[in-house]
Amino acid sequence: MNAPRGKQQIREALAQVEVLRLKSRSTPTVLRALSMVKSYQCRRFEATYQDLLTSDTYGPACRFFLNELYSPKDFSQRDAEFSKIAGPVERLFPRSIVDIAVALADLHALTEDLDAEMAVSLSRNLDCDQTGPHLDDSLYQQAWRGVGRTKDRKSQLERVTQLGSKLAKVTRLPGIKLTLRAMRRPAAAANLSTLQQFLEEGFETFAYMAREQYAIEHFLNIINKRESEWMNQLN
């Protein structure tokens, strides 16, 4: 992947996310369903990985995945900054960091696409007076099966583990911690502080886990195994 292609990928992915975001906001029932889908997925992740979340070794990385990949929070600010990185990407960030930015933008676009379809499917089965954020297992499974897209679901999981692998590789680069810290001021000057925070937190959590031999590989294997089992149960 060359730098121009990296910029193009980020722009295309985030443009897709913005289109999906605007489309969901235009239909209140779908927007409510989308919030329910994301909240359900966050609760499910917490339940599935309760042991990892309370682990000294895996807890920080697991919370990072929960907050940055499975959280129902609004990522508009981070997305806006990722759009900006498409311009000064070669000047501000090392190549390894650009790869992570591209991988995250790509994963984010696919996740938002799948969630949006889930929301549309779910909205058809919501009661008009159902305004609460909670979604039960049967409705979620019904929406999941209604959407299908098994191949894309598998690709989504592959991209999650690939993102983790890229973060793991960065932790092994000599001087990367100092490089990231040196980027704080230029990132702030370019209004990329949220992106900077994501990169530093990702590095710190994976660097912490990497202190234990094979811990990162074990962590990613657990994610892959449990998510695959979860998908098999829903299909």
Report the C-alpha gap between 25 and 72 in whole angstroms: 15
pLDDT tens track, the chain, 235 positions: 444 456 677 778 878 888 888 888 888 889 889 989 999 999 999 999 999 999 999 999 999 888 887 777 777 766 666 666 655 555 666 777 778 878 888 888 899 999 999 999 998 877 644 555 578 888 899 999 999 999 999 999 999 999 888 888 888 777 777 777 777 777 777 666 777 777 788 888 888 898 888 999 999 999 999 999 999 999 8
> Which amino acid is it at 96?
S
Query: If residue 188 lies in a helix (H) or strand (E), which one and from where to where?
Result: helix 184-189
Q: Tokens standing for 11?
A: 């722009």
Report the C-alpha gap between 7 and 2 in whole angstroms: 9
Output the pLDDT for position 166.
Answer: 87
Residue 134 has φ and ψ, to the nearest 5°, of -90, 145
Output the pLDDT for position 85.
Answer: 60
Report the C-alpha gap between 14 and 107 in whole angstroms: 10
105 CA to centre of own chain: 8
Report the C-alpha gap between 206 and 188 in whole angstroms: 23
The CA dihedral of 157, 132, 27, 41, to the nearest 10 degrees, is 0
Residues 6+ apart with CB under 8 A from 194: 77, 78, 81
Predicted TM-score of the model (pTM): 0.83
Output the pLDDT for position 6.
Answer: 63
